[in-house]
Every structure is written in structure tokens, then in C-alpha cells.
Amino acid sequence: MSSISVLQYRFRNSEALSQAVNARRQTTIRQLSLNSLQCNLLLIENESISFSFTETSCPLHVAGAKGQGCLEFSFILQPGQQDFFAYEQAIPQNTLFGFDPTREVNMIVPGQSMICVAQIRRDVFEAYADLMQRSDLNMHFFKTNFITIPTMLSEVQAYLKRLYSIALHQPEYLTQSRLPQRGNCFAFASPHLLEDFLPLLIDSIPNPAAELSLQSPRRFSLVKQAEEYMRTHLKAPITLMSLCKALHTSERPLTYGFREVFGVSPMAYLKTLRLQAVRTQLQLADPAAAIAEIAHSYGFQSLGHFSRDYKTMFGELPSETLKQGFKS
């Protein structure tokens, strides 16, 4: 097996995070709150298997294509301030999800949470499943995309937490031939990640796997309608009252829905959309462009308040974004 690399990053904006995770996939990661983002990303990679551990202070929306020729398995290692959502479903912590290769990524990761995504070459996974006589782990199983396995999944999660801790604090251990076994966790090291992790993962999936019925929050549809309305009216004056009127709803269900799904109020979410739109314009603008004019076009009347919120969300001033966009 080829050697494993361990890479650690810290990010203050979601664009840089997107670039770091896109070596093996093509996804867009978008911050969903106005708070300052503190995100730790740890990657453990080789040619057959990779693990990405993402720990975030703010809620994030992740969407886009998965890696070609790979299977991806997602694990919640630390629940957040709100539920995880994947494919518009609320995901319990004891759920293995996201492994349908025909579906693109569509996930909301809450703030103060940690998620691990294991990306495995499909031919490698199929070879291990065949060796373990698990013919049930076929396309019919993959298309279910979700499975709750409370007892066995906890062993996989414990393994991943141990792997994360070693990679974070003692990455040099992953170059050794073998680590001593600790408690109930499997022993592992870089040449043995596949031999340890894949049997553990495959054994955790019952045969036959029970169908899992997940439900979207009853207000999810309303939240999606509101988000679409915001996106198509970013430059128009929008108040909470006018938004409710346009959607034929009242303030209470709309506010509860946004807090349940995104962890923020509707108007705070609208501000994040507008700040991101301004950022895109600044990245494309001529360096002589007037920042105030662009900001005003998206409803920001106070340049001081706008600049403060912009720096909090993206970790830099609007003028810095303008200069960097011109250089690139």
C-alpha cells in the first residue's frame, strides 16, 4: 500500500475550505451564519482510502459532486447545535449516510460539530465485501443512502475518533508499522488502515440492512421556498413582514424553521447571502470599483456596519478582497 499523508488546516472562510477538500471531489462549501468561522480540517489520505475530519464553529452548507470511482461514507463524530441535514433529511448521530454514489452531496453541517467522511475507491470496497462474503452490499444497498446501526456504528465512530486524535497530536505514529491496541478500539497504523477500517465498517452493516425512514422537518419546504425567494430578490428591499407576505405564512413558523434548519433567523440568513454576493462581485470587479456602491446595491446602507460584518464573516476587509481578486 502506498504511504499515507496527514494534512492539517485551519480556515477562517469557507472558500479556502472548499479548495482544500476538492482534491478528490468538486463541492461548494458555504457559511450559513454571520459569526466568525473557525474550521479545522484534517485529511488522512492515500491512493485507496482517505478520511476528512471537519470541525466547524459555524453552520455550513456542502453541495456538489462526489469523487469519481469512489464510495463515500459519512459519520457524525460530534453532534452540533442543531441537527445534521443530508438530502433534506434530519440525520441522527447513529446513522451511516451519504453512500449512494449516484447522488451528489447536499448536506447542512451545524455549528460546534465534527463530521468524518471516508472516501474509498469503489473497486477496493467491493473486493473487501467479496472477501467477507457480503454480496448484499450492492447497488440496491447503496441507493438506500442511510442506515441506522446504533451498536456497531459506535465502534466505527470510536475507531475514527482514535484515528483523528493520533493524526492530530502524534501524526508520526502513522508512519510506524503497527500501533498497540487501546481498549476496545482496533489497532491500526498507516499500512493497515484498509485492513482495520474496512472490515470494521463492513461488519457494522447488518445483513440484511433494515430500510431507514427519515423525515424532513415539517417546515423544511417553507424554508426552501424562503431561501429561493431571497436568492431571486437579493437586491430588493426585504423585511420579515414582506417575506412572510410573499410566502403566505406568518413570522413564527418561518423563524422556527430557519432556526431548526440553518441555526439562524431568516433575516440573518438573508444577510449572509447578500454578503456572499458582494464578495463574489468584489472578486470579479476592477480594482477601481467603489466598494460602497456594490454594497449599497445589495441593501447595505451603512458602510461601517457592512465592513464589520464582512470582516467577521470572511476574515478580511472588503478592500482586501478587491485587491486579491485583481491579482488573481
pLDDT at residue 176, rounded to an integer: 61
Mean pLDDT (whole number) for 102-115: 95
Mean pLDDT (whole number) for 27-37: 92
Cβ atoms of 316 and 281 within 8 Å: the answer is no
Amino acid in position 161: K
Q: Where are the alpha helices (DSSP H) in the chain?
A: 14-21, 122-131, 139-142, 150-169, 193-204, 220-232, 240-247, 251-261, 266-284, 291-297, 303-314, 318-327
pLDDT at residue 185, rounded to an integer: 42
Share of the chain above pLDDT 70, in %: 89
From residue 280, give the alpha-carbon distance in Å to each of 100, 151, 200, 240, 322. Answer: 32, 45, 44, 25, 10
pLDDT at residue 19, rounded to an integer: 87
Encode 46-108 in three state secondary structure: CCCEEEEEEEECCCEEEEEECCCCEEEEEEEEECCCCCEEECCEEECCCEEECCCCCCCEEEE
Q: Across the chain, what does the average pLDDT equal?
A: 88
Tell the CATH superfamily of the 220-327 domain. Homeodomain-like (1.10.10.60)
Cβ atoms of 283 and 321 within 8 Å: the answer is yes
Total count of residues recorded for the chain:
328
**Domain extents for the chain?**
5-204, 220-327
How many C-alpha atoms does 17 have within 13 Å on its Cβ side?
Answer: 27
Summarised one tens digit per residue, pLDDT across range 256-288 is: 999 999 999 999 999 999 999 999 999 998 877
Summarised one tens digit per residue, pLDDT across range 135-186 is: 999 999 999 999 988 778 899 999 999 999 999 988 888 766 444 444 444 4
Q: b/e string for 124-139 if b means 16 or more Cβ within 10 A? A: bbeebbeeeebeebee
